[in-house]
Structure 1
């Protein structure tokens, strides 16, 4: 994803002033699709696919009609692909949210002397959340502008306003992304605090006054003491949200039959966010293990039930110093999570804790424990997820993005080639690869896919400096959203599904064995997520000046993948790429001396 500039304070706050996402020309998309897939399938399969695509795009063919309908949809909507994309990417997906969908941000490890220290940190964090929400409520966030390619373009900010106002409601066939709307007399704002698998309502506004940090700390102390009372502990209901979406929808329907459960669900679903006070996880606190704790909580016998995965923002504060954010991904992209997290960490570092004892704190009503009437038996499901996930958080220390820039290359393009190189070394073949590309320069824009497994990537040397593949994606000219739109239009028209969408090549093109994303940060933290297919890898990378953080995930039950093997290959490939760069630079210097120095290349091309 592109790096964003947050320094420019002026720009359009209303996303309606941004241009609409274009519908790419049909033939352009079909030609690009064939180019993307030709080297990924057999020659026989490609001949079949090419014939199907040519028939689809021929004058008078079904593609022409679907393209016309898609253009009509563009004229009538703010963003023609948004609903299609949201349902296809998230809401129709029946897999469990932890590991399969929800990314996490791992904060720097904290050092807490005792529980009070952890609660002070949590109170300070909540105070920062409320400050950030004040900016959101006033729509006062500075507009972001693209940097790098097409620099200076204002970006849509709407994703930020879903951070604390959305909820993913499970459904039997399809989930719903609920947007909470304020009314004239809103109820007091509240967060939910999870502690020892129990949930507590913490009002952050009482008698029209926002609680200060001292009040928040006092209330958290009360919650911790209430959670210690083993006699009142209830079943770990949070585990239900870690189940498959259909199973959770069925369980929620059963819960809703009881008024006590309905009240508890209502309080959780309308809260601003969750703060999860975790017990120590009892393992070595390496980057890898801290990543695992964020992704799944360590299972039902640790902190796996101390979560509510339907809520977009869950801030985790572990007594052992394992802290971070768990994100429900459907309302916003990773860059929004990054910027919110960076704001909070900078707030906590730059704004000293303001814990001052005040006489009024004793007057605060005690937080309320949520009650349930049921006995869930879903521990076995989460346990299998925990055992299956194979994570390797790795810091490549030999060089970082500054070295890559000195080679006059794009760090993102360079690292994408390294990932392709590593996968090819491990498996001897290229595969469909997903790399998210922001299309926020358009109204309600989310992402499209940079298909970085190009024919040029196989040639390797040419692709090391090739940035062309990302430009169509960020300008709305990529193929994945367009093909999705044509497919969904055909379904809405209730016509026979065009053969292009049942072809083996199309089905394979959407099996992203390598799912990648650049998530750069300006403070010490990193992002990670799980694979999107059973035999695939999730590869998140964070390029810093002198090092690169990679978080590689896979599933242990797959015989085709191993995170440690992939990471080892990745390190070897990055070192070989540097060696190649150095040898090319050394070879170029004698020629430069003979020619009296380097000369500018034609057409602005790169060496």
Structure 2
């Protein structure tokens, strides 16, 4: 249980007023839909909100649900965002954290790093098990509010079980006499069970290294033609569910699956990728392992935490995203890396290490049908590898310190720059997703900050219009940044529109009502097709997060603002004729530089005393 004083401070997520949400929906979509579409949408929305109409009924039922649950949107959101999604997890869903590149002289060095990493994972898990992890507090906008910690307790106790129509997020439950805890080590596309608790004693770093050395030796001596069962987990969720149903018909496979599904985490000992280790290529290795010819089968994507340690120094963690958000992953990995960097190794060979039982390789029995499915999964992963267009770009001209000096929110400023870049590339704006944490509330996950605002459109148009003065451009920049900042505050305080509309839609389905017109309208479809999917994932350690696009013709854009630079990870799919990551990155760099130049010219032209009097100075902050 959480401390009583913290539990008392935790708030229930409220439901916005229906009128507010519908007005915000119309305002947010007017400039993204065609005039004809929008006229139809306005009529549909007015009908939905009419007294005695569907909206009023659904709002009433949603308020009743709020009063009976800890978090009225959690289950709806989890299913809609993750469990109902049938796409493969790598690239499409699972984000990755890329660690600083390590310098290993040989496999032994990489095993030492892995042993150290496992030791720190076990230390972190001990804090989680003892519920001694310090409570997080909000930073940035509305800083200081205590945040719900439940996501942390799913890091090492969850598993995403594939289903034919919907996946299940399984939570492991402890018992009075728990079985020995174990991790799964993937090496040479095979899986080994490594007990980390033997005779009621947690293995120390030296013990772990000895066991990893045994695993590496066992893997080297195995038949290279053994099936790479992990490839099945990289397939679409329905296909993997069908394959798993075939696997569990055999008791050997059931035992192996059980060991993987109940493990603490995976540690993937990767072979050298054989490519130049740029930031972009290291990101690609984390996202998909390089495919079937590299480390693509050395994964088990259903497990939330997969730590990758490559012999070539490519290291990081692959995250199955359904149990927790990126900031929880950041906090965990920063804890691990800071301790690994900041304290000496505890590798002292003990006499007892030779007495440890050897780790056990998991065995599989594959029918011809499963072999065929494995070949299909491998081919689809290879197509995904060839399709992903990733560009990791470090913008060095300035960072968040410059933006703060302009009295602007760094996140809002960067979001406006992303809109500017998209406009440069495509001559329009498109529905944009920016994740906003709602951990201020019980079981809070995220809502969406809709960054493609009318104010952002007005600003980017002004920047491409040679007739508009710098003073007017600066005014529009302030308005765009303020609109973004204000929407951010609404989102993190539970007043954004996406979760509310989702709740209304899902309640209509539960009540077996005819689907309201508002949710079959073309504008609603456009509003939920996020061509630009963005997220700020700041770190205090030299690492970065990245992920793939969420639609075939879209971009993924993750960014990490630092004091004097910003790391951007931009992804798209090569098969789309509309997108190109390098094109977007070039446009983004140009946009950021132009926005800096505009601010500098404005600062030079208007003296501080005159700025206060100027009608085109910064609008009043809320």
**TM-score class normalised by the smaller sequence:** over 0.9
Q: 1:567 aligns with which of 574, 585, 589?
A: 585
Q: Are 2:29 and 1:37 equivalent residues in the alignment?
A: yes
Q: Secondary structure at the match of 2:28?
A: helix
For the residue of structure 2 that corresponds to 1:230, the secondary structure is coil
The match for 2:507 is: 489
1:581–1:603: structure 2 CA closer, same or farther, 3 Å change rule? closer
| Partner residue in 2 for 1:149 | 141
Cα deviations across residues 238-262 of structure 1 (Å, max 9, x unaligned)? 0000000000000000000000000
Residue 557 (structure 2) pairs with residue 539 (structure 1): yes
Q: What residue number does 1:408 align with?
A: 407
- 2:396·2:564 contact (CA, 8 Å) conserved in 1? yes
d(CA) in 1 for partners of 2:415 and 2:86? 29
Query: Residues of 2 paired with 1:342 and 1:352: CA distance?
Result: 17
Give how far 1:600 is off.
Answer: 11
For residues 403 and 459 of structure 1, what CA distance do their matches in structure 2 show?
23
Partner of 2:101: 109
| Distance in 1 of aligned mates of 2:527 and 2:72 | 22
- 3-state SS of paired residue (2:223): helix
Aligned residue pairs total 594
- Tell me the alpha carbon deviations over residues 374-420 of structure 1, each in whole angstroms, 9 at most, x when there is no partner: 13322111100100000000000000000000000000000000000
**Structure 1 partner of 2:193:** 201
CA distance in 1, matches of 2:157, 2:5: 18
Secondary structure class of the residue paired with 1:200: strand
Residue of structure 1 in register with 2:474 after alignment: none
| 1:305-341 deviations in Å (ceiling 9; x for gaps) | 0000000000000000000000000000000000001
Alignment of 1:157-176 (within 5 A): 157-176=149-168
Look up the SS of the partner of 1:152 in the other structure: coil
Alignment pair present for 1:587 and 2:602: no
Query: Deviation per CA, 1:351-389, whole angstroms, max 9, x where unpaired?
Result: 211111111000000000000011332211110010000
Aligned pair partner of 2:481 in 459, 464, 480 = 464
- 1:267 and 1:496 map into 2 onto residues whose CA distance is 44
CA-CA distance at 1:11 after TM superposition: 7.3
Cα separation, 2, equivalents of 1:72 and 1:456: 36
Shift in Å at residue 459 of structure 1? 1.6
Q: Residues of 2 paired with 1:234 and 1:133: CA distance?
A: 33
Matched, 1:418 2:417: yes
For residues 177 and 319 of structure 2, the distance between their equivalents in structure 1, rounded to whole angstroms, comes to 29
Question: Superposition pairs for residues 410-449 of structure 1, below 5 Å?
Answer: 410-449=409-448
Q: Pick the aligned partner of 2:318 from 326, 335, 347.
A: 326
- Matching residue of 1:393: 392
Report the secondary structure of 2:394's partner residue: strand
Q: How far 1:232 moved relative to its partner?
A: 7.2
Using the alignment, how far apart are the partners of 1:537 and 1:170 within structure 2? 26
* Alignment check: 8 A CA contact 1:392 1:551 kept: yes
1:76 to 41, 48, 68: 68
CA contact (8 A) 1:436 1:517 kept: yes
Whole-Å separation in 1 of the counterparts to 2:600 and 2:378: 53
Give the conservation status (yes or no) of the 8 Å contact 2:9–2:146: no
**Counterpart in the other structure of 1:217:** 209
What's the TM-score once normalised by structure 1's chain length? 0.96
- Asked if the contact 1:227/1:233 (under 8 Å) is kept, the reply is no
Cα deviation, 1:168-216, whole Å, max 9, x if unaligned, reads 0000000000000001110000000000000000000000000000000
Aligned to 2:223, which of 228, 231, 256? 231
Select 1:507's aligned residue among 515, 525, 528: 525
* Residue correspondence of structure 1 range 254-293 to structure 2 within 5 A: 254-293=246-285
| Structure 1: tracts of 5 or more residues without a match | 1-9
**Cα offsets for 1:561-582 (capped at 9, x unmatched):** 0000000000000000000000
| Cα distance in 2, alignment partners of residues 135 and 600 from structure 1 | 54
Q: 1:341-360 alignment to 2 at 5 Å? A: 341-360=333-352
Separation in 1, partners of 2:349, 2:20 = 66
Q: 1:44-100: CA deviations, max 9, x gaps? A: 110000000000001001000000000000000000000000000000000000000
Q: Name the stretch that deviates more: 10-19 or 197-206.
A: 10-19
Tell me which of 537, 547, 553 is aligned to 1:529: 547
2:327 maps to what in 1?
335
Question: Structure 2: how far apart are the matches of 1:293 and 1:576?
Answer: 34
Question: Counterpart in 1 of 2:379?
Answer: 380
Contact conserved, 1:12 with 1:154, CA < 8 A, in 2? no
Q: Secondary structure at the match of 2:347?
A: coil
Assess if the C-alpha contact under 8 Å between 1:12 and 1:143 holds in 2.
Answer: no
- Report the Cα distance in structure 1 between the residues aligned to 2:7 and 2:547, rounded to whole angstroms: 29
CA contact (8 A) 1:408 1:606 kept: no
What CA RMSD, in Å, does the superposition of the two structures yield over aligned residues?
Answer: 1.7
Question: 2:183·2:193 contact (CA, 8 Å) conserved in 1?
Answer: yes
Q: Give 1:149 shift.
A: 2.1
Determine if contact 1:11/1:154 at 8 Å carries over to the other structure.
Answer: no
Separation of aligned partners in 2, 1:184 and 1:532:
42
1:18: how far off?
Answer: 1.1
Query: Which whole-Å CA distance do the structure 1 matches of 2:224 and 2:291 have between them?
Result: 22
CA distance in 2, matches of 1:252, 1:11: 41
Deviations 1:88-145 (A, max 9, x none): 0000000000000000000000000111100000000000100000110011111111
